[in-house]
Chain A
Amino acid sequence: MAQASTQAAYRPMSGRKRKSFRQHLQDNAGILFVLPAVITFLVFGLYTVIYSVILSFFRWNGFGKFSILPFACAPPACQFAGLDNFAYFLYQEPTMSGFFWQALQHNLIMAVFVTAGTVLVALPIAIALNRAAKGQTIYRVLIMLPMVTAGIAVFYVWSFIYEPDGLLNSVLESVGLGFAAAKQGWLGQPDRALTSLMIVMIWSSVPMAVILYLAGLQTIEKDLYEAAVIDGASAWQQLWNITWPLLLPVTVVIVITSINGVLQGYEMVYLMTYGGPAGHTEVVGLQIFKYGFGDQRQLGMASAMSWALFVLVFIVALVNLRIFRSRTEV
């Protein structure tokens, strides 16, 4: 908002004719649509964001007093730490920083593969769903089910599927692929745990992507395909030249939410592996949670890690938007 008014203040300098106040109001009337959202944020969000930024420069166990309006930080429960928190997990403490960078590496692997996997699975399903005239409702409901059944039940079912004598190994053995079975369980072997976890993540994020794609497919005019068919375009060409480009805005949404979910999410990892075996599925979000509310009780450290992650995610998201936007505009 502050920026909006400075921009407005610069306007006259650009040499254009000075507009009347009334004219300004009229030109900017659109802001009224955004106002409720802005007010909600100013009341219920702004304080918390600023607080958590400032907290990342302090050492605090969460029990004593730490507030920013008015400012209070009562030692010894709260101490000013400067950049210490950042230094600790970025390079200073060997194990802690080792864990952090390893976790970040897992996060990035997940961001790439879970996102790509979600799009690659969800798009064909959405297209098939859009096409299937008969039984569309029932398929749609079935495919959305993982969204609803999420949580502890899913964690348990998948753990059971992945167990050494679980469903996946039994199926592999029964079709003669016993050599590919995971003797220690799919989540128990360092070389497979991350992949196995990513499959569950894709599985649970596909329904939402399908919903979004379906909504997007509704906005594509049928005429476009009819015209393409007349021009003799193959199904593949239709997909590549009509569906994919027109769904790009939806894909952007999916990519960004998926990246964000992967980089910040920790619930599934928390429930399924707790970062194991031996740290092979550790992610930054889980570390933040452990530092904030595990037995460490270092809320300043948790904040510092969160904001380091925030910077990273925001950059990745902006780069993504840039890439996709330039492509859609070409």
Chain B
Amino acid sequence: MTTHKRLVSQLSLIAVAALVAACGTATTPAPQATSAPAATTAPAQPSGNEPELTMWTWKVFHVPGLEAVAKNFEAKEGVKVKITAYNPDEVYRTKITTSAQSGDLPDILSYWSGGQWELAATDQLVELTGVVDPAWKANFLSGTYEKSSTLTQSTYDTCQKDPKCTYKNLKVGQSFSVPYLAGQAFFVYANKEILQKAGLDPNKAPTTAEEWMDMMKTVKAKTGTPGLVTGEQNADVLHYWMFNPMMMTSCGQEKYDAIYNGNGSFADPCVLNVFKWINDIQTNDLWMPNILQTNIDPADVAFSQGKAAFDLGGTYTLGFLVAQGMKTENLLSFALPPLKGSAYSKLEVSAFALIDAMVTKTSKHQKEALDFIKFLTTPEQMAVFAKTVGDFPAVKVPLDPDKIGPVLVGLMSAFSGKSPFDTSKAQILEEPGKVLKLGLQQFITKETTPDDLVKKIDAANKAAWDAKGGPLK
């Protein structure tokens, strides 16, 4: 009985304390609470309070870069921009979905480039068609704005054909966002020290995939260090970072498109050879142990600790490796080398838009928000962003180490104006995509073989295109 009384009295003490605390905090943040509605009514009284904008992102480490730009914007225009991050990706998507339902989207959203159509189709975004004038457009790297921020004919055609497509109401040429982050996968980094130890020339990058495989074998034989690491726990990595670029160089763009679009077979030697090569990494025991449970960041960490000789990544990888304490002098980087006898002897790499910024319809300050994304995508401000976070802007920034940091300069100059992926019209459907991703992982668990996988993908691809009314012409 006494126990109970004591528990009750102690609980009620806590309750009282909490109530007191509640009242306390209810009064202390009152200035903020009242300032919010004041801000929303600001446009009615133009001489009143300055509006405060909010921008969301899911990349937490971009926040300092965006904040630096926001600070410059405030100094220039007198408008504050608050940057808020929600991560990981799934939480960010959840937050956007629920906020769209409650009408609480922020003034400015960051979203995956090319993913904004769904938001636009449901009338959440301010249309930018025509607003992005030639002068603004000229800021962007080629292959970014015009490819994924403007609705292209081929995206439109595919959508019209697909019964599940959710943005059929959009028209070709419409635009709702501008890119601010770009990049590209397909980069291989090598640890020069390990190459040297294995008796290899640390400054000579392989020109073919076969050569590269031989280098990995030599390293393994001489030093015992595994050859290759990459973030394979994420099933997209092997598919998009390794298989697709190798298939592109091996088959050429026309064949690449035809095969994915249902007009060819994955059994074609140009694809089968790629599968065989990837499978050989496993048969030669060149993957870092535990590779299937290694995600992107841990893979780069392992590489920076010398646990593998090569790391497959992208433009974004370099900044990460340097932040881990690797010296740029100790790094050799090269674009993913093609197989011998490929259609292209070298993979041309161009920038792809990765993140777009957009203004929401629920924003009470659409003009200011638009001003901010315009300000953000100027070369000067993007240089500030790039230098602060070490990530790759979608805007032509001056190639000056003082302005964007030494790491990015080297990478940006590795880009060529165009890549076969710029003009590719291949559509990777959900079902065959899944079969492919699983199959590539099953090479490592030895649950499938290249010949076996080819049959499965062909069947899945045919079925998927048949369900859409036949292959894409």
* Chain A residues within CB distance 8 Å of chain B: 59, 61-65, 74, 76-77, 93-96, 99, 159, 163-165, 183-185, 187-188, 190, 193, 273-274, 276-280, 289, 293-297, 299
Would you call B434 and A95 a contact (CB within 8 A)? yes
From A64, A164, A274, contact of B289 by CB (8 A): A164
Would you call B431 and A188 a contact (CB within 8 A)? no
Given A76-B168, A276-B293, A278-B447, A293 contacting B233 (CB threshold 8 A): no
In the complex, what's the smallest C-beta–C-beta distance from B362 to chain A, in angstroms?
13
The residue among A59, A277, A294 with the most chain B CB atoms within 10 A of its own CB is A277
| Shortest 6 CB-CB contacts between residues of A and residues of B | A185-B290, A277-B292, A278-B441, A188-B290, A164-B289, A64-B122
Given A76-B166, A277-B444, A279-B438, A185 contacting B289 (CB threshold 8 A): yes
The residue among B97, B233, B438, B445 with the most chain A CB atoms within 10 A of its own CB is B445
Would you call A61 and B118 a contact (CB within 8 A)? yes
Task: State whether the Cβ of B374 lies closer than 8 Å to any Cβ in chain A.
Answer: no
The residue among A77, A95, A299 with the most chain B CB atoms within 10 A of its own CB is A95
From A76, A193, A278, A289, contact of B444 by CB (8 A): A278
From B233, B295, B434, B447, contact of A190 by CB (8 A): B447
Bound-state CA distance A61–B121 (Å) is: 11
Would you call B447 and A63 a contact (CB within 8 A)? no
Contact with A along B276-319 (1 / 0, CB 8 A): 00000000000001111101000000000000000000000000
Chain A residues near B233 (CB, 8 Å)? 273-274, 276
Given A99-B434, A278-B292, A293 contacting B93 (CB threshold 8 A): yes
Would you call B434 and A96 a contact (CB within 8 A)? yes
Chain A residues near B122 (CB, 8 Å)? 61, 63-65, 74, 77
Given A62-B100, A76-B168, A94-B463, A187 contacting B119 (CB threshold 8 A): no
Would you call A297 and B93 a contact (CB within 8 A)? yes
Task: State whether the Cβ of B76 lies closer than 8 Å to any Cβ in chain A.
Answer: no
Would you call A63 and B289 a contact (CB within 8 A)? no
In the complex, what's the smallest C-beta–C-beta distance from B174 to chain A, in angstroms?
15
Contact with A along B214-251 (1 / 0, CB 8 A): 00000000000000000001110000000000000000
Task: State whether the Cβ of B343 lies closer than 8 Å to any Cβ in chain A.
Answer: no
Would you call A293 and B121 a contact (CB within 8 A)? no
If over half of A's interface residues share one DSSP class (helix, strand or loop), that class is named, otherwise mixed; here it is: loop
Would you call A63 and B90 a contact (CB within 8 A)? no
From A62, A95, A277, contact of B97 by CB (8 A): A62
Given A63-B124, A94-B431, A293 contacting B293 (CB threshold 8 A): no
If over half of B's interface residues share one DSSP class (helix, strand or loop), that class is named, otherwise mixed; here it is: helix
Contact with A along B444-462 (1 / 0, CB 8 A): 1101000000000000100
Which residue on chain A has the smallest CB distance to residue B459? Answer: A94
Q: How many A-B residue pairs have CB under 8 A?
A: 107
Bound-state CA distance A273–B298 (Å) is: 13
In the complex, what's the smallest C-beta–C-beta distance from A57 to chain B, in angstroms?
15
Task: State whether the Cβ of B94 lies closer than 8 Å to any Cβ in chain A.
Answer: yes
Bound-state CA distance A65–B123 (Å) is: 10
Contact with A along B260-281 (1 / 0, CB 8 A): 0000000000000000000000
Would you call B438 and A278 a contact (CB within 8 A)? yes
Bound-state CA distance A293–B88 (Å) is: 11
Task: State whether the Cβ of B20 lies closer than 8 Å to any Cβ in chain A.
Answer: no
Bound-state CA distance A94–B466 (Å) is: 14
Would you call B293 and A77 a contact (CB within 8 A)? no
Task: State whether the Cβ of B164 lies closer than 8 Å to any Cβ in chain A.
Answer: yes
Bound-state CA distance A278–B121 (Å) is: 35
Give me 7 other A-B pairs in contact (C-beta within 8 A), A187-B293, A299-B97 excluded. A64-B121, A184-B290, A188-B289, A273-B293, A274-B234, A276-B235, A295-B89
Bound-state CA distance A190–B446 (Å) is: 10
Bound-state CA distance A280–B165 (Å) is: 31
Would you call A294 and B292 a contact (CB within 8 A)? no
Would you call B460 and A187 a contact (CB within 8 A)? no
Bound-state CA distance A64–B97 (Å) is: 9
Which residue on chain A has the smallest CB distance to residue B436? Answer: A95
From B93, B290, B431, B447, contact of A164 by CB (8 A): B290
Contact with A along B417-439 (1 / 0, CB 8 A): 00000000000001100110010
Which residue on chain A has the smallest CB distance to residue B92? Answer: A293
Would you call A63 and B290 a contact (CB within 8 A)? no
In the complex, what's the smallest C-beta–C-beta distance from A252 to chain B, in angstroms?
26
Could you write out 29 A-B pairs with CB less than 8 Å apart? A61-B122, A62-B100, A63-B100, A63-B119, A63-B121, A64-B122, A76-B169, A77-B166, A95-B460, A99-B434, A163-B290, A164-B290, A183-B289, A184-B290, A187-B290, A188-B289, A276-B233, A277-B293, A277-B444, A278-B292, A278-B438, A278-B441, A278-B445, A279-B438, A289-B90, A294-B90, A295-B115, A296-B430, A297-B93
Task: State whether the Cβ of B167 lies closer than 8 Å to any Cβ in chain A.
Answer: yes
In the complex, what's the smallest C-beta–C-beta distance from B267 to chain A, in angstroms?
19
Given A76-B165, A93-B431, A94-B460, A63 contacting B293 (CB threshold 8 A): no
